[in-house]
Chains A and B, each alone.
Chain A
Amino acid sequence: MSGSAEDQTLIAGEYVLGLMDAVQMRLVEAQATEDRALAGEIAFWEDRLAPLATLVTPVEPPAVLWSRLALATGIAGAMGAQAPRRRTGSYRAWQASTAAALAIAASFAYFAFLPRPASPDLNGEQFIAALGPTSGAVPYIAQARADGSIAITHLAGAPAPAAGRDFQLWALPRGATRPISLGVLPAGSAVVRPPERPLADEQLLVSDEPTGGSPTGLPTGAVLFGGTLSPVSPAATPGR
Chain B
Amino acid sequence: MTALALASPDLMGYSFRATPVFSLQQGAGRPRRVTPMALVQSDTATLLARCAASDAAAFRQLYDANSGRLYGIALRITRQPALASDAVHDALLQVWRNSARFDPERGNADGWLISLVRYRALDIARRQMRETPGLEIPEQTDPDPDALSRLVTGAESKALRHCLEQVEAPRRSLVMLAFIDGLTQNEVAARVGQPLGTVKSSIRRALLSMRSCLQSMLGGPAAERQS
Please give the residue numbers on chain A whose beta carbons come within 8 Å of chain B beta carbons, in ascending order. 1, 6, 9-10, 13-14, 16-22, 25, 36-37, 39-41, 43-44, 46-62, 64-80, 82-88, 91, 93-99, 101-103, 105-106, 110, 112, 114, 116-117, 128-135, 138, 141, 143, 145, 151, 153, 155, 174-177, 189, 207, 219, 221-228, 230, 232, 236-240
Do residues A130 and B1 form an inter-chain contact, with CB atoms below 8 A?
no
Question: How far apart sit A128 and B16, CA to CA, in the bound complex (Å)?
Answer: 7
**Cα distance A110–B16 when bound, in Å?**
10
CB distance from B87 to the nearest CB of A (A): 10
Q: Chain B interface mostly helix, strand, loop or mixed?
A: helix
Query: Do residues A54 and B37 form an inter-chain contact, with CB atoms below 8 A?
Result: yes
Residues of the A chain whose Cβ atoms lie less than 8 Å from the Cβ of B185:
14, 19
| Smallest beta-carbon distance B213→chain A, Å | 10
Instruction: Out of B16, B31, B203, name the residue touching A130 (CB < 8 Å).
Output: B16
Q: Is A10's CB under 8 angstroms from B3's CB? A: no
Q: How far is the CB of A122 from chain B (nearest CB, A)?
A: 15
CB <8 Å contact, B175 and A60: no
For this complex, 24 residue pairs linking A to B, each with C-beta atoms less than 8 Å apart, are A10-B204, A17-B179, A17-B207, A18-B178, A20-B184, A21-B126, A21-B184, A43-B107, A44-B220, A46-B108, A50-B108, A52-B151, A53-B73, A58-B69, A65-B67, A65-B85, A69-B96, A85-B29, A87-B26, A130-B19, A141-B7, A174-B86, A238-B5, A239-B4
In the complex, chain B residues whose CB is within 8 Å of the CB of A94: 24
CB distance A97 to B27 under 8 Å? yes
Contact partner of A99 (CB less than 8 A), chosen from B23, B32, B108, is B23
Q: State which of B10, B32, B126 has its C-beta within 8 Å of the C-beta of A85.
A: B32
Shortest CB–CB separation between residue B143 and chain A, in angstroms?
8
A46 touches B179 (CB 8 A): no
B110 in the interface (beta carbon within 8 A): yes
Q: B221 touching A44 by the CB < 8 A rule? A: yes
Q: Which of B26, B112, B156 contacts A93 (CB 8 A)?
A: B26
What is the bound-complex CA distance between A43 and B220, given in angstroms? 10
Q: Is B29's CB under 8 angstroms from A138's CB?
A: no
Nearest residue, chain B, Cβ from A238: B5
